[in-house]
Amino acid sequence: MCTLQKLIQDLNITDFAEQFYLKEQLIISVGKTSNHVVLMAQLLSQGKCHGIHAFIVQIRSEKDHTPLPGISVGDIGNKIGYNAMDNGFLRFDNVRIPRRNLLARYSRIEKDGTYIPAKNPRLAYGTMVFVRALIVGGCSKSLAQACVITTRYSAVRRQTEIRPGGEEPQVIDYQTQQEKIFPLLAAAYAIFFTGDVMLKEYVRINADMEKGIFDEMAALHGLAAGLKAYSAEITSNGIDKLRRACGGHGYSHASGLPKIWTYITPACTYEGENTVMYLQCARYLVKQYAQAATGQKLVGFMSYLNNPVKQRSALNDTLNMSDMIEAYEHTAARLIKVAATRMQSLMKSGVSVEEARNMCGVPMVSAAKAHCEAYVVKLFSSVVNRNDLEPSVARVLQTLCKLYAVYGINERLGDFIHDGFLDGQQADMILNQTLSLFAEIRPNAVALVDAFDYPDKILQSCIGRYDGRVYEALYEYAKTSPLNKQEVHGSYYTTLKPLMEGKLKFDSLSARL
Ligand SMILES: Cc1cc2nc3c(=O)[nH]c(=O)nc-3n(C[C@H](O)[C@H](O)[C@H](O)COP(=O)(O)OP(=O)(O)OC[C@H]3O[C@@H](n4cnc5c(N)ncnc54)[C@H](O)[C@@H]3O)c2cc1C
């Protein structure tokens, strides 16, 4: 039987946490550190452009680390976070590199400049898919860390009173606090399982590609682009929500939350800016819709586009997962249809495909988000309904999964009731069930975050400590502020004292400032 701890250990969450800890200190990048780079650049030969290729280029001397002739390189300055990452600028002025520096596993260039393309252009997708799968996994881990801190702190922090004269409750007992934390806790698990499955799919499909089978690469590439954007968006927005859920202490570096957020929020930008990623995913979806419309049988996670369109959902308060998955897939299919038919009618009216894509950008992004959401709900459900899970673990995870699904419907209710697939009564039921699930999760919330097994060393949070000794830790943290080195700060003698003694006037003080 698979326990929660074992399920998480199988997925290596603490290994990743350890890497994260080290990476914060040891990241090497182009600005001041690297002496060679892998440069992505256009390959031009015999007057033709063959697109972006990877080249190894030496940029600094191996003797004294100075930039080589024609190369300007340096640091780009402070960023909102990620400052241990040596991001740099790099400029080339007539720099020549040998032909063999082209990374030529799949495509190459002959001595006479003849270009030999890759057997299949999709080969280049592999690395991108792999990196995006890692980003999805990384997002879940950052979101999980923020959930650990916020849940533990919310179990320690007491405020106000629910009944007049009663005891001050732990803030986690407020329904509004549960609404801030539990759906994100469910999302951390959901995205965690998604990253794991993406990596396994990558390994499987990559092995097929090595054998010359490319059938599923485009599908995985489209999905990976969308899931990268989806995970990064939930994580970045979610951690900020969790920070605010910790009140004033969430804003302090003592909480550990700002560091987690600044570390992961660039995932919305690097390795493909999120909107551009959603659009890439949507382009694939629109193509698949066109194929399904001509009666072609779609396979794998796209097969829902072949489903006959149903008018009404049977979803009721038993929250059957197959009804919820059906609602998500129905809504995704509808939104893909909206984007695709809009594009088709623009193109019929003479608009070019590129212009039409731009004129459908917003509905395309909505379609991609809905598709990703449907994929994650289905995948989450398949993991928590595995029959090798210990029954008590399965029950708790199934509750989380249900919450993830109903909360998502409640958040985007308009999309689900737009064509009457769900109606007003079902919308009321969804809200009631969401609130009941909060109450059901509450007794297990701390155990669910402890199960991530992040040691205090990784969290570096005064308020998310395992032992709950929040206030002692905050006090010790505050004492280490450099301003506390002297009991009476120097500014007292230079400014405050003369001001209080009338020797310094406010006018001259503001002139000094
Ligand atoms: C922390 C961090 C680390 C990084 N590390 C590296 C690194 O190691 N190596 C490296 O090469 N790069 C790195 N980058 C750069 C990163 O890859 C780019 O920032 C990213 O690809 C987005 O490109 P951009 O900055 O040009 O954004 P832009 O393309 O300028 O985006 C600006 C806006 O335009 C919109 N937009 C752009 N194109 C389209 C389109 N086709 N359709 C609709 N809207 C569009 C975007 O949605 C966005 O809203 C890093 C970035 C960050 C933040």
> What span, in angstroms and rounded, lies between the C-alpha atoms of 387 and 77?
52
Q: Is 31 in the pocket of ligand 1 (CB under 6 A)?
A: no
CA of 379 to the centre of ligand 1 (A): 29
pLDDT above 50: residue 457? yes
- Calculate mean pLDDT across residues 68-79: 95
- Judged by phi (left if over 0) then psi (alpha if -120 to 50, else beta), residue 156 lies in alpha
Does residue 30 form part of some domain? Answer: no
Enclosing domain of residue 422? 124-296+319-447
Residue 171 and residue 212 in one domain: yes
Contacts of 9 (CB under 8 A, 6+ apart): 453
Token pair belonging to 28 = 């090497």
Residue 66 and residue 191 in one domain: no
Residue 225 and residue 262 in one domain: yes
Q: Is 270 in the pocket of ligand 1 (CB under 6 A)?
A: yes
Residue 132 and residue 79 in one domain: no
Q: Find the largest Cα–Cα distance for the chain.
A: 89
Looking at residue 215, what is its pLDDT? 79
> What span, in angstroms and rounded, lies between the C-alpha atoms of 227 and 233?
10
> What span, in angstroms and rounded, lies between the C-alpha atoms of 431 and 228?
29
Looking at residue 26, what is its pLDDT? 40
Residue 378 and residue 394 in one domain: yes
Does residue 231 form part of some domain? Answer: yes
Q: Is 83 in the pocket of ligand 1 (CB under 6 A)?
A: no
Q: Is 273 in the pocket of ligand 1 (CB under 6 A)?
A: yes
For atom 53 of ligand 1, which residue has the closest CA? 266
Residue 85 and residue 222 in one domain: no
Q: How confident is the model at residue 3 (pLDDT cuts 50, 70, 90)?
A: low
pLDDT above 70: residue 8? no
Residue 262 and residue 281 in one domain: yes
Look up residue 89 and give its amino acid.
F
Looking at residue 17, what is its pLDDT? 35
- Calculate mean pLDDT across residues 394-412: 97
Q: Which of these three, 83, 118, 153, is where a domain ends?
A: 118
For atom 21 of ligand 1, which residue has the closest CA? 272
What is the domain-level CATH number for residue 86? 2.40.110.10
pLDDT above 50: residue 337? yes
Q: Is 419 in the pocket of ligand 1 (CB under 6 A)?
A: no
Residue 221 and residue 83 in one domain: no
User: Which has the closest alpha carbon to 338: 368, 365, 367, 358?
Assistant: 367
pLDDT tens-place string over residues 29-47: 799 999 999 999 999 999 9
* Intra-chain end-to-end CA distance of the chain, in Å: 68
pLDDT above 70: residue 407? yes
pLDDT above 60: residue 12? no
Q: Alpha helix (H) ranges present in 412-464?
A: 413-417, 424-441, 445-450, 456-459
Does residue 79 form part of some domain? Answer: yes
Token pair belonging to 170 = 């732990």
pLDDT above 80: residue 379? yes
- Calculate mean pLDDT across residues 177-201: 96
Looking at residue 21, what is its pLDDT? 34
Burial 134-161 (b: 16+ CB within 10 A, else e): bbbbbbbbbbbbbbbbbbbbbbbbeeee
CA of 44 to the centre of ligand 1 (A): 24
Residue 221 and residue 74 in one domain: no
> What span, in angstroms and rounded, lies between the C-alpha atoms of 471 and 91?
50
CA of 87 to the centre of ligand 1 (A): 13
Q: What is the 3-state secondary structure (H, E, C) of 376-389?
A: HHHHHHHHHCCCCE
- Calculate mean pLDDT across residues 191-198: 95
For atom 14 of ligand 1, which residue has the closest CA? 270
Does residue 458 form part of some domain? Answer: no
% of the chain at pLDDT higher than 90? 82
Does residue 464 form part of some domain? Answer: no
The continuous run of DSSP H or E covering 74 comes out as strand 71-75
Q: Which of these three, 69, 87, 118, is where a domain ends?
A: 118
β-bridge mates for residue 36, sequence order: 58
- Calculate mean pLDDT across residues 128-150: 95
Determine how many CB atoms are found less than 10 A away from the CB of residue 464: 28
Q: Which of these three, 413, 447, 481, is where a domain ends?
A: 447
Token pair belonging to 157 = 């922090």
pLDDT tens-place string over residues 253-310: 999 999 999 999 999 999 999 999 999 999 999 999 999 999 999 988 899 999 999 9
Q: How confident is the model at residue 206 (pLDDT cuts 50, 70, 90)?
A: confident
CA of 316 to the centre of ligand 1 (A): 43
The residue whose CB lies within 8 Å of the most ligand 1 atoms, and thus the one to mutate among 236, 269, 353, is 269
Residue 145 and residue 237 in one domain: yes
Using CA atoms in the order 229, 232, 237, 241, what is the torsion angle rounded to 10 degrees?
150
Residue 403 and residue 433 in one domain: yes
Looking at residue 117, what is its pLDDT? 93
Q: In whole numbers, what is the pLDDT of the chain averaged over residues? A: 92
Q: Is 87 in the pocket of ligand 1 (CB under 6 A)?
A: yes
The residue whose CB lies within 8 Å of the most ligand 1 atoms, and thus the one to mutate among 273, 275, 278, is 273
Contacts of 410 (CB under 8 A, 6+ apart): 427, 430, 431, 434
Q: How confident is the model at residue 13 (pLDDT cuts 50, 70, 90)?
A: very low
Q: Is 266 in the pocket of ligand 1 (CB under 6 A)?
A: yes
Residues with catalytic annotation? 271
> What span, in angstroms and rounded, lies between the C-alpha atoms of 296 and 224?
23
Does residue 485 form part of some domain? Answer: no
Does residue 65 form part of some domain? Answer: yes
pLDDT tens-place string over residues 458-510: 999 999 999 999 999 999 999 999 999 999 999 999 999 999 999 988 777 77
For atom 29 of ligand 1, which residue has the closest CA? 273
CA of 420 to the centre of ligand 1 (A): 39
Phi/psi at 115 (5° precision): -95, 125
Does residue 512 form part of some domain? Answer: no
Split into its structural domains, the chain has a count of: 2
pLDDT above 50: residue 361? yes
CA of 355 to the centre of ligand 1 (A): 21
For atom 20 of ligand 1, which residue has the closest CA? 270
What is the domain-level CATH number for residue 427? 1.20.140.10
Residue 182 and residue 290 in one domain: yes
CA of 107 to the centre of ligand 1 (A): 26
> What span, in angstroms and rounded, lies between the C-alpha atoms of 411 and 238?
14
